[in-house]
Structure 1
Amino acid sequence: MLFNEPWCLSISLFERSLAAINLLAFLSSLSQWRGQIGSTGILPACGFVRHWKERKMTFLQRPTLCLIISDSDNFLLALHWIGIVCAIMAFFAIIPPGICLIGCWLCYSSLVTVSTTFMGLQMHSNLLETTMLYILCSSFVAATPEVFVFTQWSLLFRIMLGGAVGKV
């Protein structure tokens, strides 16, 4: 049997699905970022980052690597490509998916933070939250499969409840 434990197949499918969704999110953003948050875009990221640096905001207040490293167009493009490579490596499990998805989370969180209006939808927050929950519950943190399944079910319940409340 390929999967020795009863949870291995479902966790493997979840990891691959999460990696594929991250890959699609990065590819979608890659085709739009220059016109939205590039230096000549509608709302350039450099303006937001400059304002946050003047107010002495930290990474914990605005989780973006642009505050720490750079806010240039080349760096924004690099964030996309690093996220794409990390998602592909997580999908094919070249290195442990949990480690690759940390890279995806850092890059996507950086892009969502500087994209304020353009990536302020619930789906972007849900992707970041789901990725972070997976990272916290993944096997390299030594969580039991039951904890992993419980957190995913609770996340699904919260998303469904939030969507229903939003419609009311």
Structure 2
Amino acid sequence: MSEFTHFNEQGRAKMVDISAKEETVRTAQAKTSIQVTKEVYEKMINHEIGKGDVLSVAQVAGVMAAKQTSQVIPMCHPISIKGVNIEFEWDVSDTNHYTLLISVTVKTKGSTGVEMEALTSASITALTVYDMCKAVDKGMIIGPTYLVEKTGGKSGDFLRNEI
């Protein structure tokens, strides 16, 4: 049997049937970052971005994205999200690069995991920061975006080694 489960007998895409899978508590943590200029950094921390409080808006966008993942990723199942936590931390150790670190944890109790919800949330959070700050600088860099860990489910736990 192929490792790819999203194909039917005709080789066409399908949504996997998860009806027989056991409901378990499942979590996933994803991370991404966005590198900004000193000017963007200072405007963000001083709440001087014309569109509003960047981190508050980005956080709400990230929560909304986690809940809407099945609407934009075709083979994702709509699931009942039990919790989303988004955390921000600035890395200003290099005065030439100001990097906003974004960490998202998503939790559910269900028959399928929340990796895609965590990754989508992290991505949309960073994209929202970009959208809100692009009038100041369009040269911001997003990424890398990656799964840090996941728990629960038949395939077991996953923990990424440091990248």
Q: Same fold (TM over 0.5)?
A: no
Q: Give the number of the structure whose residues are more often helix, by fraction.
A: 1
Q: With structure 1 as the length reference, what TM-score do the two structures score?
A: 0.30
Q: Give the number of the structure whose residues are more often strand, by fraction.
A: 2
Tell me: higher relative CO, structure 1 or 2? Use CA pairs within 8 A at least 6 residues apart. 2
